[in-house]
Amino acid sequence: MSAKPGLSEPLNKPAKVSRGRASGDAPHRGPADPALGGVSLVFPVHNESFIIEQTLRNYIAELATRVPELEVIVAEDGSTDDTKVVLERLEKELPIKLFMSDERKGYQDAVRDAISHATQPWLFIVDSDYQFAAIDFWRLESHRKSHDVILGMKSPRKDPFYRVFLSWGYNLLLRLFFNIPYRDMDTGFRLIRRSVAEELAPEVKYMSFFTAEFVVRAHYAGHEILEVPVHHYARKIGSTTIFFISKLFLICIHQFIGIFRLKSEFRRRGLK
């Protein structure tokens, strides 16, 4: 891990970004190096009753025998469908640690709370809608020795056109405002050193979806960040609970304001 810059010192280190698309070849499936520490597999969950069982079973099947000291944390966030019922049943069948909430906290707070339950040195935080393949964990895992934040860059992205466009614009604004090179800062597939998450997660407050602001803060704190192309798949069942078309304008305004507020904070701290 590199030394952190001072508050008045601009950070001008070259970032490492792996370009191109995910290889069609299956990655080497472990086992993970026990010397690098265990992994907390973290799922924030909201209204995923139709897919969460498949998600959990597939990830556990892929990782449980190949990752020493794997723990699986399921942080349910005020679901209004049958997600709670499904998870209560799965808790009796699968090696998961289940935390449920009666009230909706929102994605940012849900992720932050989920992180607080983790005990292993690494966090593998995955969206629970099963748009990423469990096997692609190994594309990220091989970089744990040299990096603190390893992002699964959706390549290509299989979302509706409006979400692809919004994400492209969002990442473009972040690159322009903060002079950073990353292409997919809102990814839902990320492997993060827990000490870095504990350091920076409490500071994430301006943008709605946690990961992008976390990546910006991690970059300015001097942590080693890498983007690795991974496969992305169209949502198999159900629909997004966040990006309804009727909400897009307000989401965009909120994110734009968040970028300005984060930039203002950095200026006050003397960061370029």
Q: All domains of the chain, ordered by start, with CATH?
A: 16-268 (3.90.550.10)
Please give the structure tokens belonging to residue 258. Answer: 């968040």
Please give the structure tokens belonging to residue 158. Answer: 């299989």
CA atoms within a 13 Å half-sphere pointing along the CA-CB vector of 86: 20
Decide: 130 and 55 in contact? Cβ < 8 Å: yes
pLDDT of residue 46: 95
Looking only at the bridges linking them, the beta strands covering 189-193 and 122-126 are antiparallel
Q: How far apart are CA 256 and CA 56, in angstroms?
A: 34
Tell me the sheet residues that pair with 74.
43, 98
pLDDT digits (tens), the chain, 272 positions: 444 444 334 454 545 555 556 777 889 999 999 999 999 999 999 999 999 999 999 999 999 999 999 999 999 999 999 999 999 999 999 999 999 999 999 888 989 999 999 999 999 999 999 999 999 999 999 999 999 999 999 988 888 888 888 899 999 999 999 999 999 999 999 999 999 999 999 999 998 889 999 999 999 999 999 999 999 999 877 555 554 565 777 888 989 999 999 999 999 999 97
pLDDT of residue 256: 92
pLDDT of residue 32: 97
What pTM value is reported for the model? 0.88
Decide: 15 and 225 in contact? Cβ < 8 Å: yes
- 228: amino acid identity, one letter: V
